[in-house]
């Protein structure tokens, strides 16, 4: 491939690169336990991480994909735990149905409330999210405390997410928070173990919004 485009203009088409990558992923993954509607999420997570183990570690609630698609197509909000997740999400496929991608963790009222209660902004941001984005999709790639708080709010009947994509990465509480999520009987996508993070969380959401758009 020649990238010396100032001498010999060539088109390096991102879509072609993506198509080729996705074919390589399908070929190398081989047999897997995922359904046809789950597989695009697995594929895009592997695409974003080059990590087949992480892809294989994904766990889906049976209603996850359909409920996520329905939330997007009915214009529900998408909540990101941190700004890296927010900026990574493809906005056009959310906004075309009336939705928005929100992040609350740096809001002034969240910071003040966290200070007042001597707790984390991640926790308070979820309490704000359930008021502002009920029925929406929660994308948590960074903060296990946010995911644990959201799980608590669901259990207490205070939150009814359309979908939780919970894939925080880390050594303290991340794996445990995802195990708790996987016990819920509500739509979720998560993974087993410490791995995860902003990029794979974004990848999972984007995979679903692409599926949503294909129904147009």
Catalytic (active-site) positions: 47
Structure tokens at 68: 């996520």
Ranges within 23-42 binding a second copy (CB under 8 A):
24-25
Is residue 78 a contact partner of residue 101, using CB atoms and an 8 Å limit?
A: yes
Q: Cα–Cα distance between 142 and 70 in angstroms, integer?
A: 25
Q: How far is the CB of 201 from a second copy (least distance, A)?
A: 10
Q: Cα–Cα distance between 15 and 180 in angstroms, integer?
A: 37
- Sign of the CA dihedral 98, 103, 107, 113? positive
Nearer to a second copy, 29 or 70 (CB): 29
Nearer to a second copy, 70 or 153 (CB): 153
Query: Reduced to 3 states, what is the DSSP secondary structure of residue 185?
Result: coil
First-to-last alpha carbon distance for the chain, in angstroms, is 36
Nearer to a second copy, 35 or 172 (CB): 172
Contact between 90 and a second copy by CB under 8 A: the answer reads no
Q: Cα–Cα distance between 12 and 136 in angstroms, integer?
A: 36
Nearer to a second copy, 51 or 112 (CB): 51
Contact between 47 and a second copy by CB under 8 A: the answer reads yes
Ranges within 164-183 binding a second copy (CB under 8 A):
169-174
Instruction: Give the footprint of a second copy on this chain (CB under 8 A).
Output: 1, 3-6, 9-12, 14, 17, 20-21, 24-25, 47-51, 83-84, 87-88, 117-120, 123, 145, 148-149, 152, 169-174, 193-199, 202
């Amino acid at each position: 491939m020649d990238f010396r485009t100032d001498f010999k203009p060539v088109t390096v088409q991102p879509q072609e690169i993506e198509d080729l990558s996705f074919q390589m992923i399908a070929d190398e993954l081989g047999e897997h336990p995922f359904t046809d509607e789950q597989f695009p999420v697995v594929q895009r997570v592997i695409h974003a991480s080059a990590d087949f183990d992480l892809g294989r570690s994904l766990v889906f609630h049976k209603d996850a994909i359909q409920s996520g698609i329905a939330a997007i197509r009915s214009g529900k909000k998408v909540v990101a735990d941190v700004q890296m997740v927010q900026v990574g999400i493809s906005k056009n496929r959310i906004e075309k149905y009336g939705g928005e991608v929100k992040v609350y963790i740096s809001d002034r009222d969240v910071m003040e409330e966290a200070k007042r209660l001597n707790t984390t902004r991640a926790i308070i941001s979820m309490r704000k999210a359930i008021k502002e984005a009920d029925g929406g999709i929660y994308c948590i790639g960074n903060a296990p405390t946010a995911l644990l708080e959201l799980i608590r709010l669901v259990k207490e009947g205070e939150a009814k997410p359309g979908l939780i994509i919970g894939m925080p990465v880390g050594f303290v509480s991340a794996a445990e928070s995802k195990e708790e999520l996987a016990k819920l009987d509500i739509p979720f996508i998560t993974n087993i173990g410490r791995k995860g993070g902003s990029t794979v969380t974004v990848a999972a959401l984007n995979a679903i919004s692409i599926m949503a758009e294909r129904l147009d």
